[in-house]
Amino acid sequence: MGVPVCNKNKLSKFAITMVATASAFATFVSTTAISAEKKSREEWKKEYVRPSTIPFPTDNPYTAAKADLGRTLFFDPRLSGANYISCGTCHNPSFAWGDGLAKGIGHAMTRLGRRTPTILNLAWGEDLMWDGRFESLEQQALGPMSAAVEMNQNMKAIVAELEAIPEYRTLFNVSFPGKGITVDNIAKAIATFERTVVSGVAPFDRWIAGDENAISASAKRGFDLYNNKANCVACHSGWNFTDSSFHDIGLPDKDIGRGKIVPGVVVMQHAFKVPTLRNAVERAPYMHDGSLKNLYSVVEHYDNGFVKRPSTSNEIYKLNLTQSEKTDLVEFMKTLSSKDAPVALPRLPAYDQTVAGSLNVSPAAGPSADSGTPSVQKGSCNTFLMHYIPCSK
Amino acid sequence: MRSKTFASAVAMLFVVAGVTPANAEIVITQKAKKFDKKRIEIKKGDSVKFINADSIAHNIHSRSRGNKFDLGVSKPGTSVSKVFDKNGKFKVRCAIHPKMKLTVKVN
Ligand SMILES: [Cu+2]
């Protein structure tokens, strides 16, 4: 149970289904019919059925080789300026692809402004980042990599850095015949891998599929509250528990979020992207600012803990939940955890052992397994390392 | 649905008749977090009425050059109108739900 889709066997099966789904983004369309009339529990359940295929964009279709390369790149710290931060450092699969921190930490221990979001189920997302500033995963992948406070990678240098690793040349040529290592292809490979990161089958999914014993009575009551009195469904709708919309949920911090990207629209002040609730238990603390410790405090926030201001979402109002209703909601959210199998880390391609000196990095001084950071021979000054290690000329 | 079809039919009649019509009103419905049309063509001076038939709030705004506007939040069951008095192609969006996209071509 709960085998993650990034499992290799599963992947090849997906590869086949995916060829058939040409217009990729259209494959999963939630047909949520929102209406004022009350729906029964059984009717609501129909809106939470898992999709059977992963959508891939036509300009970056799935191939197993590309996804594998993307996985290797995702976990390779050499994609950062100082070669010690990988995508997986913050998007740690052991923490449901987050970092477990209130706010992320980037290059040189820089504390970032917002919590690290999970990368689960992003194949169905759009407008990436808390403020939605990137329109595709391909664009998004390069964002944190090049940001000085995050991975601090000089994007002009990254291609040469990877070119110096023979196996990467091979892997890129297999995935992108005739094109090889380019910044765009780095992004395409990582995005392809990320789209395969899908939360596995959770007790909730087994209940939706018809197993009445999969979740508790309390969780079922929580599901009813979720869709009615607590109004969570207004935004956290569908099997992925988000409609990718933007709302000011009344957290009292100064960050204006999407307001910076969409100035002049009142409701976008303090608005942030609605995140998935899949595997939420494993992803505390919560909210874009990591200010809420656990799911109980999240429920308290929506019940009566938000600030009212001109931008506060219309879907946020006092709920008057009882203590047992709050418990039911938390019990329900617990059923969304898929307890996926551990993710194996890739073996990272080694530096060239045959052309010592040609890149001004002596093999002995190359990145060693124990230090994790490369050192540069005294007197050597190669361009692709210059941006993070001062050269001693 | 019926009133919207009727409104567009009336607009079409004026065009066919070749008379200078009174400005038409075109109705767009917001339902299930979608606009009921992806693209409309209207005449300069026509107005578009956005009816929120959902149980959640929506927004109408445009960031297109030459016609930036924000009609704010429309609550469930309400409607807002916007007169398009400049020629051009404008992207109308719901800021809350980025999947809601409408192109308005004004001739
Ligand atoms: Cu909307």
Amino acid at A338: S
CA distance A271 to A281: 23
Residue B13 within a domain: no
Q: Which residues of chain B have pLDDT under 70?
A: 1-21
**Could you tell me the two tokens for A32?**
């949520």
CA of A246 to the centre of ligand 1 (A): 9
CATH number of B51's domain: 2.60.40.420
What ipTM was predicted for this assembly?
0.78
Please report which residue ranges of B1-105 form alpha helices under DSSP H: 2-17
Distance B98 CA to ligand 1 centre (A): 7
Is B11 among the domain residues?
A: no
Q: d(Cα A118, Cα A124) in Å, to the nearest integer?
A: 13
B-chain CB neighbours of A125 within 8 Å are none
B98 and A246: CB-CB below 8 Å? Answer: yes
| Residue B23 confidence (pLDDT) | 87
Rg (CA), chain B: 13
The answer as to whether B17 is a domain residue is no
Ligand 1 centroid – CA A335 distance (Å):
29
Closest-CA distance, A130 to chain B, in angstroms, reads 13
A265 and chain B: CB distance < 8 Å anywhere? yes
pLDDT at A13: 36
**Burial class of A191 by CB neighbour count within 10 A (0 to 12, 13 to 18, 19+):** buried
Q: Which residues of A touch B91 (CB under 8 A)?
A: none
Chain A residues with CB under 8 Å of B30 CB are none
Query: Scanning every residue of chain A, which has its alpha carbon at the shortest distance from the alpha carbon of B59?
Result: A267
Within a 10 A sphere around the Cβ of A59, how many other Cβ atoms?
9
Task: Please give, rounded to a whole number of angstroms, the shortest distance from the CA of A267 to a CA of chain B.
Answer: 7
B61–A34 C-beta distance less than 8 A: no
Which chain A residue has its CA at the smallest distance from B73's CA? A267
The whole-angstrom separation of Cα B51 and Cα A303 is 29
On whether any CB of chain B is under 8 Å from the CB of A211, the answer is: no
Identify the residue whose tokens are 């070669």.
A83
Q: Using only C-alpha atoms, what is the Rg of chain A?
A: 23
Q: Do A314 and B56 touch (CB under 8 A)?
A: yes
B51: in domain:
yes
Indicate whether B83 belongs to any domain.
yes
Structural element, H or E, at residue A193: helix A183-195
A277: closest CA of chain B, how far (Å): 18
Q: What is the pLDDT of residue A353?
A: 84
**What pLDDT does residue A361 have?**
45
- The crossing angle, in degrees rounded to 10, of helices A166-175 and A155-163 is 100
Contact A30, A126 (CB under 8 A): no
Confirm whether B54 is domain-assigned: yes
Q: Is the peptide bond before A285 cis (omega within 30 degrees of 0)?
A: yes
Per-residue pLDDT of chain A (393 residues; tens, 9 = 90+): 333 343 333 333 343 333 333 333 333 333 334 445 689 999 999 999 999 999 999 999 999 999 999 999 999 999 999 999 999 999 999 999 999 999 999 999 999 999 999 999 999 998 999 999 999 999 999 999 999 999 999 999 999 999 999 999 999 999 999 999 999 999 999 999 999 999 999 999 999 999 999 999 999 999 999 999 999 999 999 999 999 999 999 999 999 999 999 998 999 999 999 999 999 999 999 999 999 999 999 999 999 999 999 999 999 999 999 999 999 999 999 999 999 999 999 999 999 887 655 454 443 333 333 333 333 333 333 332 222 223 232
Question: HSE (CB half, 13 Å, CA atoms) of B21?
Answer: 18
Tens digits of residue pLDDT in B48-76? 999 999 999 999 999 998 889 999 999 99
pLDDT given for residue B92 in this prediction: 96
Q: Is residue B43 part of a domain?
A: yes
In whole angstroms, give the CA distance from residue B39 to residue A105: 44
Give the pLDDT of residue A355: 62
Domain count within chain B: 1
**Residue B33 to residue A132, Cβ atoms within 8 A:** no
Q: Verify whether the Cβ–Cβ distance A35 to B73 is below 8 Å.
A: no
Instruction: Please tell me if residue A244 touches chain B, with a CB cutoff of 8 Å.
Output: yes
CB A191 within 8 A of CB A150: no
Give CA–CA dist A166/A32, Å, rounded.
49
Query: Number of residue pairs across A and B with CB atoms under 8 Å?
Result: 64
Half-sphere exposure of A65 (CA within 13 A, CB side): 10
Compute the distance between CA of residue A186 and CA of residue A15 in angstroms, rounded to an integer: 20
For residue A258, the 8-state DSSP code is G
Residue to mutate among B56, B58, B61, B65, with most A CBs inside 10 A, is B56
In A105-216, DSSP assigns E strands to none
Residue B19's pLDDT is: 53
User: Which residues of chain B neighbour A314 with C-beta distances below 8 Å?
Assistant: 56-57, 73, 75
Residue B84 belongs to domain spanning: 23-106
* DSSP for A290-347, written as a single string: --B-SHHHHHHIIIIIPPP-TTB-TT-------HHHHHHHHHHHHTT---PPPPPPPP
pLDDT at A12: 35
| Whether B75 and A266 lie within 8 Å, measured CB to CB | no
- Cα separation of A338 and A3, whole Å? 8
pLDDT at B66: 85
